[in-house]
Structure 1
Amino acid sequence: MTDQINTGGAAFPIIGTENTNYVHEGMTLRDYFAAKALPVLLSELYAQSVRRNVRYEDAYAAASKAAYELADAMLAARGGAL
């Protein structure tokens, strides 16, 4: 049994016109939410890593994980699950 991640669907879907059959879903809404959250999280976690003498690679990994956790919470709130 696998747990499926709620991606929220396409963030910026592009549907073809009558002249084209082009469909491009682009990034998911989950990716978009995580990308929007990442700069703030990265800034804060990087500052903490400097104060605590932690490797910046570890701060980046922690910020990336936190961004997706926040994105998942935003999707849950959007769906009324919270």
Structure 2
Amino acid sequence: MTISAFPVLERGGSGLELTDPGMTLRDYFAARAIGPLLQQIEVYPDENWRIALAIDAYAMADAMLVARERAPS
């Protein structure tokens, strides 16, 4: 199941309608993880640092989604 962050709801003929799903929660978590990872840029020494950084950000996002499922409500 994909969870959206910042969906856009607008008034329509039958009440509120989803007009834009927004970004996925996974993308939101990855975006939030980029900043702290950039603080440790020396960990990424070669010319492919952008790809490695993105992979790590999404790995962190995936871990956050797993933790979210396991956390008691």
Deviation, 1:34, is: 0.1
Whether 1:74 and 2:64 are equivalent positions in the alignment is: yes
CA distance 1:48–1:21, change in 2 (3 Å): closer
Contact 1:42 1:60 (C-alpha < 8 Å) held by counterparts: no
Q: TM-score, normalised by structure 1?
A: 0.69
- Letter paired with 1:14: V
Identity across aligned pairs (percent)?
Answer: 42
Name the structure with the higher strand share. Answer: 2
The alignment's C-alpha RMSD in Å is 2.3
4+ aligned runs moved over 4 Å, structure 1: 19-22
Deviation, 1:43, is: 2.9
Q: Map of 1:26-41 to 2, 5 A cutoff?
A: 26-41=22-37
Q: Map of 1:1-82 to 2, 5 A cutoff?
A: 7=2, 9-18=3-12, 23-44=19-40, 46-49=41-44, 54-55=45-46, 57-80=47-70
Distance in 2 between residues matched to 1:12 and 1:71, nearest whole Å: 17
Deviation, 1:70, is: 0.4
Distance in 2 between residues matched to 1:69 and 1:22, nearest whole Å: 29
How many residue pairs get matched?
Answer: 69
